[in-house]
Structure 1
Amino acid sequence: MTDRRTFRWATTGARVLSGTLVAAAFVVAVVTAVALPWPTLAREPVQVTATPAPEASVLTCAGSLLALGRDAAAADAVTAAAPQVLTAGVREGSPPPSESTLTSDVADSVASVFVAEPQGRTRTDVAASGSVTIADEDLSGFAASACRPPLMESWLVGGSTSTGSSGIVVIGNPGVVAATVELTVYGTNGPVVPPGGQLVVAAGAQRVVTLAGLALGEDSPVIRVSATGAPVTASLQASITRTLVPGGVDQIGAIQAPEPHLYIPGVSVVDTGGGGADASTALRLLSPSSDTTATVTVTPTGQPDPGQPLSVTLAAGKPLDLDLGGLTPREYTVRVDAAAPVLGAVWQTTGFDEGADFAWYTPAPGITVPSLFATPAGPSPAVTVVNPTDKDVSVAVDAVDGSSSTTVTIPAERSARFSLRSRTVYALEADGAVRAGVSLTGVGALAGYPVWSADTAAEPIVVYP
């Protein structure tokens, strides 16, 4: 072997050995790199937390009491019969709300709108209510209702189109754009949108529709009010005439939504001179979506034990009226527990003779934040507060002008009644979830409506630029 060949072999061997060592080192480095933790670079995304500016608080009132058929030449014509007497206010230190009126398709009818602008970044709560007393040949009684915020969907429970009964659906649009409203009537044949059940309500306007035009022949109608374009407020005026003698009138406020548990506080059963035997109490129930069974209990205010519970089967989409019997004159809370969301309202009358009146009491929604309510002009106003929880709750009811303050501890699953003054704005505050209803009771006068919770502050939102 020559020296040149020996050198070439040695060089080639060195290259192979060197390559092998480099490859092995590379493999070891890769394995080690995989096995060992790599350094990481963590960077939090830029974010900004912002709270949306609060909107103005807007309430729309039911408006004037309306009469149907006063013009013999137009039996279905609606006319204004008497204006509401209104009470409105805000918390002490807040500027008073502004008041305007809706244009109406009924001449001389007046429906007020109250607007409370926010103060800086804080929402201004406002409360308002109205009442009407009338003693005409065709319309007599006392009606009281709370002014409510507009909703995209709400429900009206009450009224009838049977002989002697009449009703008028009132829709108000306090917004700045028109609303298209659909009225779905739930009756003996289930839900139906009647020919007159679709209407357009212009911005800043009020429309009325007779109940007979929507649900002719229905003894127990329930109406769903659905709006697009803008939220609306809805109410139902109901009246009764018995053999040409007027038997009462009421303005029934809307219900926000069905619930599986209903609490209807402040139902007043009055002594008609016959030990309550002449009075009548009825409960209207509807399960809009599914068949269900409901349990009904009637508990005297302040008492620990309810009466004998009643069980009732509800068919989906078909209202049912349940006679609660002749109750002893006093105040009650009616509770409904169902396996599915339901709607309900209690009808109560002072009697069936001349000078009688009636009221529809609707369910009270849950209250978890300090909330305002107003008492209108009327007899003996009171608020009944129900504690549906399993713990004692401290409840304060204070006049916002500082003229009165009452604090009561309500035991678990009990209720308490607070006597109030008429034409006063109150603040209700509790350290637990409660439900409450205002009632006004007098000779030939009966009315009631629930206290709604104040709008909660807008939740902060996180923005990622």
Structure 2
Amino acid sequence: MHKDGNDAVPQPHEDVNSATDVTGVQDAADGSGAAGATANAAPAAGSLKSLNARALSVRGTVAGMASAVIIVAAAGSLVAAASMGPQSAGSRPLEAPLAAVPAGSNVGICPGPARLLEGTAVGTDPQFSPESATAKSLVNAAVLSTNSGALPGSRLAELNGNPLTEIAKDPGSPTASAAPPALLAGVVSQRIVDSVSVLSADAVGNQQATAGAVMSYTATDGDLQGSAAAGCQQPANDMWLVGANTSLGRTAVLNLSNASSTPATVSLELYGAQGQIQAPGSRGLLVAPGTTRSIVLAGLAPDQEKLSIHARSAGGPVTAVIQQSVLRGLTPGGVDFIVPGAAPATRQVMSGLDIQDPASAKALTAKQGFADASAALQIAVPGPADAVVEIKLYGRDGQKALPGGGVVTAKGGSVTEVSLAGVPAGQYTVAASSDVSFAAAARLARGLKSDSATDFAWSAASARLGSQHVVTVPRGGERYLVFGAPGDRAKITYTPVTADGKVRAAATADIAGGTTTVIKVPAEVDGAEVLGYVVSASGDAAYGTVLLEENGRADVATVAVAPGAAGQEQVAVKLGY
């Protein structure tokens, strides 16, 4: 497939212009404990000393309170006197000052392997069976060197802190060099994992490290047959996930992971096709530090073909991933990791949408149980107002007409699905806009035979590309970088990072406005296996996704390009009481 994809071997220039608590909650790792203490009776003399000490303490407290009252009263008198006195001609209001916030570690939490849910009844914790005999879960990661040429202290560890791999030691204080040093990378290549893992890279010179990682899952047997992949995401306190399904034969498990040292209390807002769902047990979900909590979404919102989740955390930031799987009778229908997309906005863009032959897809979806085995766009409108959404598809040779006109009304407070059936086969970028904020994700499906395994993937809405995004790719299969420029022309620079830690020569691609370009990732560059890319964009807004497929199988997965590293931030300081 994609026989016309461009080879990503760097070229001098490449010009592309072709127009629950209800059903169940599970703590993956124990994060709570109890401690107690007993007091023995003290001798009488000790009691007398204790009483004297208490009396002195009380007197000291009272004296301190009295002193505080005198100080506050005096301060009030000074303020009153100042307010009654004439103001200086030079007096003026002051803007809230900006305070520099030290750069912190770059932390990415990778989801754990897909596991089969079994034996779950209402009111019980979820249980998971082991993976199939062929299931593999691997992490690939890359950390870039700083401007001084030093690799930041970085490591891959389990969520509870147990080390897995040390990437680089702390380089100490950076030193200036006479000439710009060559860019290097610390890498993790094909690291087998059996639980949630965490990539962390320390800040150097008050600049956040540039790093990225991806976890990939594949299986050729069992109910969870197929491929799934997810970028290792930074923890957050507010997330939107679109694309869950809890109808017959579909299983959706929300996994909340907390890598911080602060407990997190997570509340969920659930939106279905008929509106917001009020589910007891969706509020106040405690996620202890260093643990993952799993929630079976069918226990909160059963029989929902279209389900979106708004997760908000108070306390520690968390990551959220939905393990979504399909089983049509005895035939596996695929597995995917649904990750958070862009927050609700009046414009959303999704790239990496690969559409199959429309005639064959129509024949498959006409069969019972296969209605969701096709490309579609889901729109979640959180507010009460309806959203009139205009949808545009951009392919390699320009915009393609969407059957039905491309303008739909999405009801406020609910989830609306728009079928993309009838669109010619190919790779697309989807852009949707409205005057009302909404969240969105696009579904792509693979497989055209009802008696064989099929697969699916969700491409979440993403932010526009900036500079120095670390895009890691799993090894094996067919791998593509898919970039879209819905507006005007954009230029993409993509620099290969190989498994030996070297950053190779960069290549560029000019993308005409209103088009999508697909770049095939080669197995090797300069004799070394390709582990990922450093991607930067300039010009008009561009968006990117990694598309993963397998020759001879219906496997498919997508990984959105994660945001680049943040530099030193500044926050406004407000004075008050």
TM-score normalised by the chain length of structure 2: 0.67
The 1-side partners of 2:519 and 2:535 are apart by 11
Q: Deviation of residue 385 (structure 1)?
A: 1.6
Q: Does structure 2 conserve the Cα–Cα contact (< 8 Å) formed by 1:265 and 1:436?
A: yes
Say yes or no: does 1:249 pair with 2:335: yes
Structure 1: which 5+ residue stretches go unaligned? 1-39
Q: Does structure 2 conserve the Cα–Cα contact (< 8 Å) formed by 1:183 and 1:193?
A: no
Give the letter aligned to residue 473 of structure 2: T
The 1-side partners of 2:222 and 2:358 are apart by 22
Shift in CA distance, 383/153, structure 1 to aligned 2, threshold 3 Å:
same
For residues 125-140 of structure 1, the aligned pairs below 5 Å read 125-140=210-225
Q: Deviation of residue 365 (structure 1)?
A: 1.1
The 1-side partners of 2:321 and 2:248 are apart by 21
Match of 1:341 among 426, 432, 437: 437
Say yes or no: does 1:395 pair with 2:492: yes
For residues 311-350 of structure 1, the aligned pairs below 5 Å read 311-350=407-446
2:355 aligns with 269
2:510 aligns with 409
2:290 aligns with 204
Shift in CA distance, 229/348, structure 1 to aligned 2, threshold 3 Å:
same
Give the letter aligned to residue 437 of structure 1: T
Give the letter aligned to residue 407 of structure 1: T
Q: Deviation of residue 416 (structure 1)?
A: 1.9
Q: Deviation of residue 333 (structure 1)?
A: 1.3
The 2-side partners of 1:111 and 1:117 are apart by 20
2:534 aligns with 427
TM-superposition CA deviations, 1:349-378 (whole Å, max 9, x none): 213432211111111212233221211234
Q: Deviation of residue 276 (structure 1)?
A: 7.7
Q: Deviation of residue 84 (structure 1)?
A: 2.1
Q: Which has the higher contact order (CA 8 A, sep 6+)?
A: 2
The 2-side partners of 1:114 and 1:193 are apart by 36
For residues 95-134 of structure 1, the aligned pairs below 5 Å read 95=152, 97-103=154-160, 110-134=195-219
TM-superposition CA deviations, 1:369-426 (whole Å, max 9, x none): 3221211234211121222443x32210112332453201122233322222576131
Say yes or no: does 1:380 pair with 2:478: yes
Q: Does structure 2 conserve the Cα–Cα contact (< 8 Å) formed by 1:141 and 1:249?
A: yes
Equivalences, count? 420
Shift in CA distance, 206/76, structure 1 to aligned 2, threshold 3 Å:
closer
Match of 1:445 among 542, 555, 561: 555
Q: Does structure 2 conserve the Cα–Cα contact (< 8 Å) formed by 1:87 and 1:130?
A: yes
TM-superposition CA deviations, 1:107-165 (whole Å, max 9, x none): x9500011000112221011000111113332211111111001101011112111111
Say yes or no: does 1:61 pair with 2:110: yes
Alignment identity in percent?
A: 27
SS in structure 2 at match of 1:382: strand
Shift in CA distance, 461/344, structure 1 to aligned 2, threshold 3 Å:
closer
Give the letter aligned to residue 361 of structure 1: S
Larger radius of gyration: 1
Match of 1:90 among 119, 130, 143: 143
Match of 1:353 among 431, 451, 456: 451
The 2-side partners of 1:313 and 1:48 are apart by 44
Q: Deviation of residue 338 (structure 1)?
A: 1.2
The 2-side partners of 1:157 and 1:403 are apart by 37
The 2-side partners of 1:464 and 1:102 are apart by 35
TM-score normalised by the chain length of structure 1: 0.82
TM-superposition CA deviations, 1:284-333 (whole Å, max 9, x none): 11111121100112222x22223244111111111011211143332111
